[in-house]
Amino acid sequence: MAAKSPVAAALLAKLDVGRPAVAMAAHTPLAAKLAAEAGFNAIWGSGFELSAAYAVPDASILPMGTHLEMMRAMGEVQPAPVIADIDTGFGNAVNVAYAIPRYAAAGVAAVVMEDKSFPKDSSLRPGGRQELVSIAEFQGKVEAAQATGDMLVIARTEALIAGLGQEEALRRGAAYAEAGADAVLIHSKQKTPEEVLAFCRAWPGQVPLVLVPTSYPQLSFAEVAALGKVGLIICGNHAIRAAVGAMRRVFRRILEDGGIGTVEAEIASVAEVFALQDDARMRDLERRYLR
Ligand code: SPV
Ligand code: MG
């Protein structure tokens, strides 16, 4: 296993099971910057959000390069570590071995890789295609990821999503930790947290767990911390859903009201957007170098 990069080591130190880190999803560098500004510990480079931003399904439709470039761009404009959602790793362990150094070069702190077969389908999609690769195959992918990069490798099991039960989920989590995963993401799409809580309580604690509580939003961060097993909570899609809701409201109002005047007070000012574009830096450059 390669030594961790400074940004990966810093993120690993934040995966505190007594006080879990919280990551916010992003689909653009601007969303990542807003999440960091709000105080989130990390940026979730969500495949669901990026797919939605391109208005295509989260089903291995977007090419790796599109996601990779977004991770690099998110890291460039804000200080929080980027956790890249690399889905299945874009194929088998060989594909993983070629993908990982590229994500490392893009400066990401961690990758999350799931044990579904390629092409994947969204975990949250009702009736989605949830086929898993074998434990041995996924262990090979985790080993390939650890051997070819210096980031955290978070192994994600979809056993509960696929309806395979707690025993299989625990078996897979343990096997992935044994293969060298730095953390295990356990995903559930139950409408209540019972399923995921049962997994957490049964987890022996070899490595920290990671939760994405989209389907069971009633579970508070404090309740997760009290379990003493979870190092990271990911808010999986709240940037794109906030953006969709806000755009729909404003677009509708403008057409209904026959002008842009009435929405002015509820949208960001142009000055705010200039600030997010780091206009101050450009003014400094203009002053120094433009002759
Ligand atoms: C994502 O945000 O892309 C995820 C989380 O992988 S989920 O959509 O819940 O599978
Ligand atoms: Mg995803």
Q: Are both 48 and 86 inside the same structural domain?
A: yes
Residue 16 and residue 154 share a domain: yes
Number of domains into which the chain is organized = 2
Q: Is the domain of 203 the same as that of 266?
A: no
- Domain co-membership, 104 together with 182: yes
Between the CA of 271 and the centroid of ligand 2 the distance, in Å, is 34
On whether residue 11 sits in a domain, the answer given is yes
Boundary of a domain, candidates 224, 239, 254: 239
Residue to mutate, 124, 160, 233, ligand 1, most ligand atoms under 8 Å from C-beta: 124
Contact, 74 vs 43, CB < 8 A? yes
Whether residues 283 and 223 fall in one domain:
no
Is residue 49 in some structural domain?
yes
Q: Has residue 213 been placed in a domain?
A: yes
Query: What is the DSSP-derived secondary structure letter of residue 266?
Result: G
CATH of the domain at 96: 3.20.20.60
Global pTM reads: 0.98
Does residue 263 share a domain with residue 233? no
Length of the chain: 291
60's CB contacts (< 8 A; 6+ apart) are 87, 88, 90, 118, 119, 120
- Residue to probe by mutation, ligand 1, list 27, 44, 58, 86, most atoms within 8 Å of CB: 58
Q: Counting beta carbons within 10 angstroms of the beta carbon of residue 263, is it exposed (0 to 12), middle (13 to 18) or buried (19 or more)?
A: middle
pLDDT in tens, the chain (291 residues): 779 999 999 999 999 999 999 999 999 999 999 999 999 999 999 999 999 999 999 999 999 999 999 999 999 999 999 999 999 999 999 999 999 999 999 999 999 999 999 999 999 999 999 999 999 999 999 999 999 999 999 999 999 999 999 999 999 999 999 999 999 999 999 999 999 999 999 999 999 999 999 999 999 999 999 999 999 999 999 999 999 999 999 999 999 999 999 999 999 999 999 999 999 999 999 999 999
ipTM comes to: 0.99
Residues in the ligand 1 pocket, defined by CB under 6 Å: 25, 46-49, 58, 85, 122-124, 212, 214, 236-237
Say if residues 141 and 112 touch (Cβ distance below 8 Å).
no
* 153 and 255 assigned to the same domain: no
Domain boundary residue, one of 239, 256, 279? 239
134 and 266 belong to one structural domain: no
Q: Are residues 273 and 136 in the same domain?
A: no
Q: Does residue 148 form part of some domain? A: yes
- CA-nearest residue, atom 7 of ligand 1: 123
Residues 109, 10: contact at Cβ < 8 Å? yes
Amino acid at 190: Q
Would residue 279 show up in a list of annotated catalytic residues for this protein? no
One-letter amino acid at 45 equals G
> Among the atoms of ligand 1, which is closest to the Cα of residue 87?
6
Residue 1: inside a domain: no
Nearest residue to 149 via CA among 124, 117, 181: 181
**Is there a single domain that holds both residue 34 and residue 84?**
yes
**Domain, as residue range, for 260:** 244-289
Q: Is there a single domain that holds both residue 14 and residue 117?
A: yes
Which of 16, 58, 121, 257 is the catalytic position?
58
User: Is there a single domain that holds both residue 167 and residue 253?
Assistant: no
Q: Looking at the domain assignment, is residue 61 inside a domain? A: yes
Atom of ligand 1 nearest to the CA of 215: 9
Q: Is residue 108 part of a domain?
A: yes
